[in-house]
Amino acid sequence: MIWNESKECMSRDELQALQSKRLVKTVNRVYHNVEYYRKRMQKEGIEPGDIRGIEDLSKLPYTTKDDLRETYPFGLFAAPQSEIVRIHASSGTTGKATVVGYTRKDIDIWAECVARALTQAGVTRDDTVQVAYGYGLFTGGLGAHYGAEYLGARVVPQSTGNTKKLVTMMKDFGVTAIACTPSYLLHIAELLEEMGEIDNIKLKAAVCGAEPWTDNMRRQIEEKLHINAFDIYGLSEVMGPGVACDCQYHKGLHVYEDHFLPEIISPETLLPVGENETGELVFTTLTKEGLPLIRYRTKDLTSIHYDQCECGRTLARISRFTGRTDDMLIIRGVNVFPSQIESALLEMAGTTPHYLMIVDRVGNLDTLEVQVEVEERFFSDEIKELESLTKKISHVLQNAIGLAVKVKLVEPRTIERSMGKAVHVIDNRKLV
């Protein structure tokens, strides 16, 4: 819940007044502190004074991942470096990462948002939360970690990797809540089943996100582990996990609208679509200092609903995501763009620009095989040459995307040519 000064749940009118006040402040902040935004607004003839509240939002220009790339690494930061206390980054469409900076206040608000999500999942200071998102530049690990600490729960900062050890600790430490990707949780559940340990753990809740999943998958997780599972959403550019999360009614994810102002637009016309209609989710941050973003196009497809939820929250809800408008894949929680593979291959001698990514789900874990056409000579030379090139390409690709890749080298003209747009991805995963 978001409370007003009389400690009542904030009405939508009160919320909108707060959003308007914060929007005006954010617009002034980017205009005065970020040259890129100032120039863009000047080009479009907009002065900060033209924005008096959320009703003027549509006068402002959109921001995209390209803008972040163009100003790499720190060009959109709105706080001096001395005030930035943390940097995270996520994959960009080419080699360049998208870099995000947080001030101390940003980190506190982020922790509070994640704490809200955990609270929606029934987690309290009496819980032990195992964080099994990756720690590092990815926002999942540290985001969930600080949120759980903010709540006063005990945190087990597991990260990803050694699942057997994770399961042992889950049992030995009496872990009651876990934060990880839904596919990884299914994998954990399978291991627990195999080890005959399901009834020996104390887990009661899971907060899962960072990749698309279905309501069916949620039920599978809940039944296998005898827990309640919740859907948490976020993206590094806007903050990280904790932009929205569903409640016990699972009727969409409540957006923390006092910090993130959502819009749904048509990706074709760029005009807002109506309530309940599917379109691209756009966010304007309302309190961020380090990297405030104006009308950031997330590329995520969803719809928005403003009617009050059965839980009593007045916050808008977004539906489970139905896809993206770009070609970004999420493999084991890692964002991968085909163009990253392409540019890495282009840098290597002996390869051709013809490649095919095959994504599969083996058990509950995603796998990625990349088939690469290489010059004929590698097939006539000794097998050793082919093996060493395979190793080299695996290494380069793994470095480029941050994910283990199985590389299969194929002879020239093996990969099917397309008459139209080249097909670079076959995604065999079926989300059921």
Residues lying near ligand DLL in the complex (CB under 6 A) are found at: 90, 133, 138-140, 209-212, 231-236, 240-241, 298, 300, 321, 324, 330, 335
Q: How far is the CB of 240 from ligand DLL (least distance, A)?
A: 5
- Rounded to a whole number of angstroms, the minimum distance from the CB of residue 283 to ligand DLL is 10
34 or 99, CB closer to ligand DLL? Answer: 99
**Smallest distance from ligand DLL to CB 281, Å:** 8
Which of 17/137 has CB closer to ligand DLL? 137
**List of residues 6+ apart from 199 with CB closer than 8 A:** none
Q: 144 vs 225, which CB is nearer to ligand DLL?
A: 144
- Complex with ligand DLL: residue 77 or 296, whichever CB lies closer: 296
Q: Would you call 280 helix, strand, or coil by DSSP?
A: strand
Residue 330 phi/psi, 5-degree rounding, is -115, 110
For the record, the structure tokens of 110 come out as: 């982020």
Task: State the alpha helices, DSSP H only, in 71-204.
Answer: 104-120, 139-151, 163-172, 182-194
Burial of 55 from C-beta contacts in 10 A (0-12 / 13-18 / 19+): exposed
CA distance 87 to 135: 13
Minimal distance, residue 307 CB to ligand DLL, in Å:
21
In the complex, minimum distance from the CB of residue 257 to ligand DLL, in angstroms, rounded to a whole number: 17
Min dist. Cβ of residue 123 to ligand DLL (A): 15
Cα angle vertex 216, ends 212, 217, to 5°? 55
Nearer to ligand DLL, 41 or 210 (CB): 210
Give how far Cα 228 sits from Cα of 118, 219, 231, 377, Å. Answer: 12, 9, 10, 56
Q: Which is nearer to ligand DLL, 131 or 372 (CB)?
A: 131
If the CB atoms of residues 27 and 338 are measured against ligand DLL, the closer one turns out to be: 338
Residue 143 Cβ, how far from ligand DLL at the closest point, in Å? 6
The nearest distance, CB 87 to ligand DLL, in angstroms, is: 14
Cα–Cα–Cα angle for 373, 367, 375, nearest 5°?
10
Cα separation of 58 and 67, whole Å?
18
Query: Which residue's Cβ lies closest to ligand DLL?
Result: 209
Burial class (CB in 10 A: 0-12, 13-18, 19+), 280: buried
The residue among 101 and 234 lying less far from ligand DLL, judged by its C-beta, is: 234
The minimum distance between CB 73 and ligand DLL, in angstroms, equals: 16
Let me know: does 119 contact 151? Beta carbons within 8 Å: yes
Residues in a beta bridge with 130: 156, 178
Q: Which is nearer to ligand DLL, 308 or 319 (CB)?
A: 319
* CA–CA gap between residue 197 and residue 125 (Å, rounded): 25
State in angstroms the smallest separation of the CB of 207 from ligand DLL. 8
Spatial contact of 133 and 141, defined as CB atoms under 8 Å apart: yes
Nearer to ligand DLL, 166 or 232 (CB): 232
Q: Which is nearer to ligand DLL, 131 or 415 (CB)?
A: 131
What is the Cβ-side half-sphere exposure of residue 184, based on CA atoms within 13 angstroms?
Answer: 29
The least distance separating ligand DLL from the CB of residue 37, rounded to whole angstroms, comes to 21
Q: Check if the beta carbon of residue 328 is closer than 8 Å to that of residue 301.
A: no
Half-sphere exposure of 61 (CA within 13 A, CB side): 18
Q: In whole angstroms, give the CA distance from residue 365 to residue 174.
A: 25
Enter the tokens of residue 367. 């796998």
